[in-house]
Structure 1
Amino acid sequence: MNEQIARAAALLRAGELVAFPTETVYGLGADASNPQAVAKIFAAKGRPADHPLIVHIAGVDKLDAWAREVPDAARALAAAFWPGPLTLILKRSGLVPDAVTGGQDTVGLRVPNHPLALALLAEFGGGVAAPSANRFGRISPTTAAHVRAELGDAVPLVVDGGPCAVGIESTIVDLSRGAPVVLRPGAISADDIMRVLGSAPEEATSGESPRVSGSLAAHYAPSSSLRLVVAAELEAAAQDALAQGLRVAVLCRCSQPFAAAELVWHTAPDDPAGYAHELYAALRQLDAIGPDLILVEAPPQEPAWRAVADRLARAARGSGEQDET
């Protein structure tokens, strides 16, 4: 067995935190059945106590241990997409403490598609509650170095599994109230879900859905101010900001049209999967430079770009704010 995995499982059993890789982003994990251990996640992240966590499980066979009601649609989606970037919201079982759910009667469950995550879950033997391994509201980490830079000694162990393959958080589908409802877009699209269930999932409506990870209006945000700009206006926006004496960073799917001393330009992939894979690492790289403004080309208004558009819109709303804890 991998020595890292053995140590990580031992730390989880002892009620400690472990950061570990998944195919989406790095998670900050604790024993999901231990409220005291789960509380350490909230303390390390500065996360509000009513903001629920996702429980990572080793396989579909663990589903009934953590959920008391599992509709046929949930089983079909789990069979189709697990291990993978899909979280199912279900009625929680008695095994799930309030600390994980924020006091709600539902729980988010997922089987991650990363060999080290699966090895850790198998060795640990229980569920691991894990949000992204970063300060609350900030850019999610997609490498072990991101976790260490942001959380430092707050995490006893960071399991290094290399860069995350998907790069953005899982799709969240609520199945706790009947018809499936997408609460957070991700790599598993509404069309993917429709192909399995035979009908399209509903869209979330505010005020009626369970609270879930990543659903706040401001999230995934850099410390620098971030503004979304349509492609046709991007060059002019950069020129205008530079004329005001600002240090400017740009994230765009096009090549750099001009050079300037106070301008850093990052060209991103032109396909949605490639863009998502690089998004958080690119935002972290640009934010670390310390610009006055990050300009990001608004993504295409197409279904394939929906998850990326969601993350960027929330990042723009939360950007420029300083941590309070």
Structure 2
Amino acid sequence: MTKRLALIDMGTNTFHLLITEVDESGNRTDFVKTKLPVRLGQGGISKGTIAPEAYERAMKTLKDFRRQIDEYNVETVRAMATSMVRSASNGEDFIKDIYKQTDIQVEIIDGDREAELIYHGVRSAGVLDGQTSLIMDIGGGSVEFIICNDQEIFWKQSFEVGAQRLMDKFFTDDPIPNTQVAAEKQFLAAQLQPLTEAVTEHKPVRMVGASGTFDTLCDIDALSRGDNTRQLSQPATAALQVSDFYKIYQELLHKTHDERLAIPGMLEMRVDMIVLASILVDFVLETYQLKEIRVSAYALKEGVLQKVLQEEGFNNA
């Protein structure tokens, strides 16, 4: 028994498409794995609406996803929309419009469900063990934190402090002024109070960064040492030394847009948001005294894959 699936993650900044086939042993063959900078939150996230240009970019991207899905004769399509769509006043109309134009049925998932699916995705990468970890998934609209081990979730919560929201609030000049770095950290200390309480209770020993920003940080780190194997093999897991993160962080804080873009491994779609996201990583490492960073290339869409396979009776999922 084999099953061919398409998984779409409609993030606030990036849209992901994974077309994969799974056999009865749970072995995966990926046919399409793509991420595109749709920037659904651009121009509208702070106003609580999807702006017309972003709406158009999303439709164009999803029509192209539909073409690829048809090309590969996919049986099951699961599409998830997250923070931007769930908080947008025109989110429901957008979902109806997508169905009308592409025949893709999109599910708007709440932050709690998003965090749970991210956990299952990260767990399937093999990055967790018996020790307590703090998973962190930085999106454009929201950030999910999950305190867990490889067996269970102890606590989880989604916060509307994603990189696009932080950018709109704090990225007044480039390079970002020290006053704005301090202002972002002050804001995070207030917003993340429930996380602070949960960390005190469950005492995670490491950070596990999920996908996105963390993949880019690992790419920059590897290429700075002349190691281009990540580009070739795209491993499911990686380790990032805390000291290496801080080297990159200092660069990001003090460079302009064009200088950041010239850093080997930098993606154009992350070049500004990674500054705000890295301040958030620094805040979490420092506040909760975490000394280790592991990275999972798997996140939401792989979590959805795990759930679909379980529903379909693939026992190894």
> TM-score per shorter chain, which class?
under 0.3
Indicate the structure with greater helix content: 2
Larger Rg: 1
TM-score of the superposition, structure 1-length normalised?
0.26
TM-score of the superposition, structure 2-length normalised?
0.27
